[in-house]
Amino acid sequence: MLKSISKTFAAIAVISTSLFAGSMVAQAAGGGEHIEVQDWGFKGPFGTYDRDAMARGYQVYKEVCSSCHALEHLSFRHLGDKGGPFYDAEYPNPNDNPVVKAFAKDWTVERIDQESGDVIDDTAIPADKFPDVFPNAIAAAASNGGAVPPDLSIIIQARTGGADYLYALLTGYESDENHDGVYHNSAFPGGAIKMAPPLSDDLVEYADGTKATTEQMAHDVVEFLAWSGDPKMEVRKKVGFATFLFLFIFALLLFMTYKEVWKDVEH
Ligand code: HEC
C-alpha cells in the first residue's frame, strides 16, 4: 500500500513538474536571435510584478511615450486597482485614491458639453480612459513620417518576444543617426524603424532617486506595460496554484480511498 502511494505520489510530482516547466518554456519562446532574454520578476509560475518599477515605468510612459503612443485599454482608475502600480489599501475604490486623482489631473480629455453639444477639453478624472494622442491613424502617420505609433496597452502580448522584445527595441539603437527619419534598430524586424530613439540617459528624473539610465527606463516602462497588458496575472497565478494544490490533495485522497475500499478484494 505504502509503496503504491509513493509511486502515485512520484507520478503526480513528475506530471506537475513537467506542466510547470512546460509553461515556463512556452513563456521563454519567441523573439529573434538578437533578442536577449531578460530576467523578469513577473515570469514563471510564481512571478509577480515589481511595484516600484511599474510606478517608475508609468512616469516614463507619461513623460516620454505618451506624446506619440496611446493606452486605449486603460483608464486612470486602473492605476489604483489592487495589483496596480498605485494601489493603496486605504482606498479600495481607486476613484478615491489621491495619487490616482492627482495623476488624472495631469491629463486633458475631450468631453461633450451637456448644454451646447460642443466637444470641449476638460481635466481628466480617475474614471476617464487615457486619451487618444491623434484623432485618427492618418493624422498619426502624418505626424510620424508615415508610420503609426501603435497603442501600447497590450503591446507586450502583441509582439513575439514580449517583454524581452520591447526591452531590446528600446535599447537597440546604436545612434540617433537616420536616413529620412528611418533609424537603425537591431531588435526591430528588418532593422529600420521610424521611431527616433525615445530614451537617453537622465531623460526623466525619478522621484525615488533611482538613476535614470536608458536601460533602467526601458526596464521600468516594460514592467509597467507588462502589467497594463495583463493586470490580472498575479491573481490568476495564485488561483492556478491553489487549484493545482487542491487537485493534488484530492487525487491523493481518492487514491487512498480506492485502496481502502478494495483492500480485502483479491485482484
Ligand atoms: C515621437 C514619437 C514617439 C515617441 C515619443 C515614442 N514612440 Fe514608439 N513609435 C513611434 C512610431 C512612429 C512608431 C512606428 C515605427 C515604425 O513602424 O517604423 C513606434 C513604434 C513603437 C513600437 C512598436 C514596434 C513594433 O514592433 O512594431 C513600440 C513597442 C514602441 N514604439 C514603444 C515606445 C515606447 C515604450 C516609448 C516610450 C519610451 C515610445 N515608443 C516613444 C513613435 C514614438
Domain boundaries, the chain: 1-29+240-267, 31-49+60-71+147-231
4 pLDDT higher than 70? no
What nine digits make up the cell of 90? 486605504
According to DSSP H, which parts of 118-198 are helical?
137-143, 155-158, 162-170
Provide the pLDDT for residue 197: 97
Per-residue pLDDT of 135-155, as tens digits, reads: 999 999 999 999 999 999 999
Mean pLDDT calculated for residue range 253-259: 96
Range 40-48 contact pairs with CB under 8 angstroms and sequence separation of 24 or more = 40/163, 40/164, 40/222, 40/223, 40/226, 42/163, 42/223, 42/226, 42/227, 42/233, 43/163, 45/20, 45/237, 45/240, 45/241, 46/237, 46/241, 47/233, 47/237, 48/234, 48/237
What mean pLDDT do residues 106-120 have? 94
Q: What is the pTM of this model?
A: 0.86
**Mean pLDDT, to the nearest integer, of 119-131?**
96
Ligand 1 contact via 65 beta carbon (within 6 Å): yes
- pLDDT tens-digit series, residues 15-58: 555 544 444 444 443 334 479 999 999 999 999 999 999 999 99
The confidence band for 11, taking pLDDT boundaries of 50, 70 and 90, is low
Domain 31-49+60-71+147-231 has CATH 1.10.3370.10: no
**How is residue 152 written as a grid cell?**
501600447
Name the residue of 35, 165, 195 to mutate for ligand 1: max ligand atoms within 8 A of Cβ: 195
pLDDT, tens only, 198-228: 999 999 999 999 999 999 999 999 999 999 9
Can you say whether residue 134 is alpha, beta or left, with left for phi > 0 and alpha for psi between -120 and 50 degrees?
Answer: beta
State whether the beta carbon of 69 lies less than 6 angstroms from ligand 1.
yes
CA of 74 to the centre of ligand 1 (A): 18
Q: State how far the Cα of 57 lies from the Cα of 219, in Å rounded to an integer.
A: 8
pLDDT at 10 over 70: no
